[in-house]
Amino acid sequence: MRETCRIVENRAESPWTHTLFFDREFDCEPGQFMMVWLPRLGEKPFTLSYSNAITVKRAGDFTDRLAALEPGDIIGLRGPLGRGYPPLQRPALLGGGGGIAELRLLALKSEAPLFILGGRTASEILYYEEFQNLGPVSVATEDGSLGIKGLITDLLPVEAGSFAICGPERMMVACRPHLPDDRTYYAIERYMKCAVGLCGQCTCSGYRVCVDGPVFSGEMIGQMPDIGKRRRSKSGRWESV
C-alpha cells in the first residue's frame, strides 16, 4: 500500500546527488528498496540509505524532480520491498558512484566493515568521512582527486570474511573475478513497474529482481547470463547494459 510522506530535509551530497529525508522511519533490511511516486511521473525504485531517507542521483526527468523537492513537499512511498543483505561479519563493502549510498545502512549493521570505493571524481565518494569512523577506507577515482588514480578493480583483491558490492553493473562484473562467489552479495538494478513479482518487467535470466532480489548471492549471479549484458527497457524491449 502506498502512503504519503512529507520531505523534511533535502541534503545536497554532491552537484548531482541529493539525500531526501522523510517525516517517518521504515523498518527495513539493508538493501531493501522503496517505490517512490511523483504525480504525473509514476513510480521508480530507490534503495534506502537511511531508515528515513533515499539518496538520489540526477539522471533524468524523474530524478531531477526528486532532487528539486523542498521541505514540506509530499511524495508517495511503497515498501520496504525486496530481499536485502544477510547479516555479514568482517565484510568488505565495495561501492561505485551512486551505489555507495546503498552501503551505508549495511555498514552500520555490520561487524568490522572495511570499504573499497570508486568513482569518477572525489565528489562521487559519498559518506567518506562517516565510513572512516567505521573502518578502513580505500578509494580509487578516475581523475585521481581522492585516493589512487584508477578504477576500483585496482584496489582488489582484499581479504575479508564476506563481500557486498553495489554500483554500475559493468563495474560489478569487472570486480567479480576478484571476489569469492560463496561469500559475496551483489545488488543489481532493473527497471521495475509492479515491484511485487507480477509483471516480469525486471526479469534477469529468469529471476524477478523485485522479489528474488535486488540482492543476490555470487552463486546466483553465476546463473544469470544477462548480468552485464542486457536488460529490459521501459518499453519491455531488450537493450544492452
Distances (CA, A) of 150 to 92, 97, 159, 164, 228: 19, 14, 20, 21, 21
> What confidence score (pLDDT) does residue 187 get?
98
Are residues 179 and 158 in contact, defined by beta-carbon separation less than 8 angstroms?
A: no
Domain boundaries, the chain: 3-81, 91-227
Q: In terms of C-beta density within 10 A (0-12 exposed, 13-18 middle, 19 or more buried), how is residue 227 classed?
A: buried
Q: What percent of the chain stands above pLDDT 90?
A: 90
Report the CATH fold assignment for 91-227.
Rossmann fold (3.40.50)
Q: What pLDDT, in 10s, does the model give residues 188-223? A: 999 999 999 999 999 999 999 999 999 999 999 999
pTM for this structure?
Answer: 0.95
Q: What is the pLDDT of residues 106-119, one digit of tens each?
A: 999 999 999 999 99
* Mean residue pLDDT across the chain: 95
Quick one: which of 181, 189, 185 has its CA closest to 241?
189
Superfamily of domain 3-81: Translation factors (2.40.30.10)
